[in-house]
């Protein structure tokens, strides 16, 4: 997941305006960076808890450069960002907030951008050779002339290390999707409206060549499946013509507040069951359980201080 957003190189605060995914277990074993594999799940939209509004919205203007700060554990330069076996593409979508059917418009993508220099070498992938190699930074620009209003940015990495099999047929394997959303407000007097886009779920199919892909065609002498290809087709729609044709990295400043390490969390979700707890020291004591069902609002609700990314 990404833990922060820089606007033109300035950090907006850790987890600020980000719909942080749910933890999947109690401290210290749980974590909030689980993948989504079920392509029919509403969690593919913004991950688990993606329907829950958070108290802040980041204000941006058309042309601003946004840098998403992806991390595996802690928001530090020493963090590994993503396992080096998790080769795959990265994408950014933009939607009015709240999303509707066919409202997500792709504004950036990067897949396998360089073949390996030798036979069976993995080549260079967006997740590992770009984002992870650049301290977790993913860059995109707010489209030129975009109409003012409230939007969700859906940034995503896909890990293909188990994508030689379809999750639909082999639930223990399948491509791993890591979507995350941030609330933004576009300012200014722009007049450009987003075109029709795609829906989540719905944008991807298990049979898509970018979803069912044997990444080991490029890394093993004997690939796991046949036919086998070393080229890669990024899943989903093409990038919108109104997006910036090129996005270059910008120099970012210090993380607001310094080093960030996750503290204790008081609730977690596993298999749609919400567990709430109190703590004696670092030991959780369960006080309640309930069922979590995503419930997306059909109209925009202004963030309030009482809003929460928790349960």
Instruction: Assess contact for 292 and 269: CB atoms under 8 A.
Output: yes
Identify the CA nearest to 180 among candidates 33, 27, 11, 12: 33
pLDDT mean over 68-85: 90
Whether 309 has a pLDDT exceeding 50, the answer reads no
Residue percentage of the chain with pLDDT more than 70: 93
Query: Is cis: bond before 305, omega within 30 of 0?
Result: no
pLDDT digits (tens, 9 = 90+) for 26-54: 888 888 989 999 999 999 999 999 999 99
Global confidence as pTM: 0.93
d(C-alpha 181, C-alpha 94), whole Å: 9
Quick one: average pLDDT of 90-105? Answer: 97
CATH of domain 2-235: 2.70.50.70
Which 3 state secondary structure label does DSSP give 189?
coil
Span 118-132, pLDDT tens digits: 766 778 899 999 999
Other beta carbons less than 10 A from residue 88's beta carbon = 27
Supply φ then ψ for residue 127, to 5 degrees. -65, -45
Q: How confident is the model at residue 254 (pLDDT cuts 50, 70, 90)?
A: very high
Domain boundaries defined on the chain: 2-235
> If you average pLDDT over every residue of the chain, what do you get?
90
Reported as a pLDDT band with limits 50, 70 and 90, residue 96 is very high
Q: What is the pLDDT of residue 234?
A: 98
pLDDT at 311: 39
Q: For position 260, what pLDDT does the model report?
A: 76
Exposure string over 96-119, b if 16+ CB within 10 A, otherwise e: bbbbeeebbbbbbbbbbeeeeeee
How far is the C-alpha of 22 from the C-alpha of 157, rounded, in Å? 17
What's the confidence (pLDDT) of residue 219?
A: 56
Q: Which residues of 140-165 are buried (b: 16+ CB within 10 A; e: fewer)?
A: bbbbeebbeebbbbbbbbbbbbbbbb
Cis, peptide link before residue 203, omega less than 30° from 0: no
Strand extents, DSSP E, 56-89: 58-60, 65-70
Record the tokens describing residue 210, joined without a space.
């970018």
């Amino acid at each position: 997941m990404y833990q922060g957003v820089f606007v033109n190189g300035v950090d907006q605060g850790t987890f600020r305006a980000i719909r942080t995914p749910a933890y999947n277990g109690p401290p210290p074993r749980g974590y909030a960076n689980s993948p989504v594999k079920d392509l029919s799940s509403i969690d593919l939209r913004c991950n688990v808890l993606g329907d829950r509004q958070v108290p802040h919205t980041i204000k941006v203007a058309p042309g601003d450069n946004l840098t998403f700060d992806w991390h595996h554990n802690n928001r530090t330069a020493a963090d590994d960002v993503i396992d080096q076996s998790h080769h795959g593409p990265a994408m950014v979508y933009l939607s009015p907030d709240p999303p509707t059917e066919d409202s997500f418009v792709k504004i950036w993508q990067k897949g396998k951008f360089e073949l390996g220099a030798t036979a069976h070498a993995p080549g260079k992938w967006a997740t590992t050779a770009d984002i992870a190699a650049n301290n977790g930074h993913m860059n995109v620009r707010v489209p030129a002339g975009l109409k003012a209003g409230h939007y969700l940015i859906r940034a995503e990495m896909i890990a293909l290390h188990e994508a030689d099999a379809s999750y639909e047929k082999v639930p223990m394997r399948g491509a791993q999707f890591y979507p995350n959303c941030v609330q933004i407000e576009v300012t200014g007097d722009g007049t450009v409206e987003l075109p029709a886009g795609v829906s989540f779920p719905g944008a991807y199919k298990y049979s898509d060549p970018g979803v069912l892909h044997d990444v080991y065609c490029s890394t093993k002498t004997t690939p796991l499946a046949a036919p086998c290809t070393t080229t890669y087709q990024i899943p989903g729609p093409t990038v919108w013509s109104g997006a910036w044709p090129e996005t270059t990295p910008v120099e970012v400043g210090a993380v607001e507040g310094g080093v960030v390490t996750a503290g204790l969390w008081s609730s977690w979700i596993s298999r749609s069951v919400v567990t709430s707890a109190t703590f004696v020291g670092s030991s959780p004591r369960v006080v309640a359980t309930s069922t979590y069902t995503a419930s997306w609002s059909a109209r925009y609700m202004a963030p309030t201080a009482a809003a929460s990314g928790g349960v």
